[in-house]
Homo-oligomer: A and B are copies of this chain.
Amino acid sequence: MVEHSKQLDLAFHALSDATRRGILDRLSRGPASVSELAKPYQSSLAAIHQHVQVLEASGLIVTEKRGRTRECRIAGEAVQRVENWLSERRQLWESRFDRLGRLLEGGDITKGDNA
């Protein structure tokens, strides 16, 4: 369970903005250019471009310059890594919760994993 602390900082920060989540949402349905991504929003293209940069720096998306447009795609494995971090913590919490349940039922707490 290595701590890719910097990457998690960037990824969670990238996800903490509704516009960026919207962009990710859009990209989960297929690649798009920066201006396609900008269309649903009032913000300037430059602002969206900055959001794209934040997403790319976080590793959640990858982009590639194709002619004068930039193709943006979601990076599934990075999303998976973030998901896993959450999943690990939740499972730990839930297993503790289960152990507590057994204890309250008078079961043997030592049957679970470590203290």
Contacts and interface: CB of A to CB of B under 8 A. Distances in A.
Contacts of A97: 76
Given A8-B21, A12-B15, A79 B86 contact: yes
Counting every copy of the chain, the complex holds 2
Interface stretch (A24-32, A44-52, A101-109): A24-32
Contacts of A30: 96
Interface in A72-92: 74, 76, 79-80, 82-83, 85-87, 89-90, 92
A89 B12 CA distance: 15
A17 interface: yes
A5 B25 CA distance: 13
Given A76-B90, A79-B93, A86-B79, A8 B12 contact: no
A41 to B, nearest CB: 14
A80 to B, nearest CB: 6
Interface in A19-59: 21, 24-25, 27-30
Given A13-B13, A29-B96, A80-B90, 5 more contacts: A12-B16, A13-B16, A27-B93, A79-B90, A86-B86
